[in-house]
Amino acid sequence: MTDAKTQIDDTVKSNDVVLFMKGTKSMPQCGFSSRVAGVLSYMGVEFTDVNVLSDDAIRQGVKDYSDWPTIPQLYVKGEFVGGCDIITEMTLSGELDKLFETQGVGYDKAAAEKIREANA
């Protein structure tokens, strides 16, 4: 498991935004992963996707790494942010915008506002 932990740690620390997900951002393989990848893509956030279905050690390793039992998992600037429900809530409340702003992550504010308007 140490190899997986090292690989996860390197990925999280060497990329500004990382989404551990089932499938890829271009072909998500679960609804929760699709929702988070869709929000990030719609908001114009550049992110690295890691398909946990392609490696069982990474799939379990990321759960151990974050002490979070589910996938997807979003990391921003090396810090675990949360899974689908948390990212959805943060998007709708504007907290995700604030996080991106304070961390210097580029995103489309107008797109974020459209998401909130559509879900009001």
Domain boundaries, position 66: 2-118
DSSP secondary structure letter of residue 10:
H
- What's the rounded Cα separation, in Å, for the pair 71 and 53? 10
- Summarize pLDDT for 71-91 with one digit per residue, the tens: 999 999 999 999 999 999 999
**Secondary element (H or E) of residue 50:** strand 48-51
Q: Is the CB of residue 39 less than 8 Å from the CB of residue 116?
A: no
Q: Considering its fold, how many domains does the chain have in total?
A: 1
CATH code for the domain in which residue 18 is found:
3.40.30.10
Q: Per residue in 14-72, pLDDT tens?
A: 999 999 999 999 999 999 999 999 999 999 999 999 999 999 999 999 999 999 999 99
**Alpha-carbon distance 64 to 104, whole Å?**
27
What lies within 8 Å, CB to CB, of 20 at 6+ separation is 8, 50, 52, 58, 62, 71, 72, 73, 74, 75
**Residue 120 — pLDDT band, cuts 50, 70, 90?**
confident
* DSSP conformation class of 23: B
The DSSP secondary structure of 59-116, one letter per residue, reads: HHHHHHHHT--SS-EEEETTEEEE-HHHHHHHHHHTHHHHHHHHHT----HHHHHHHH
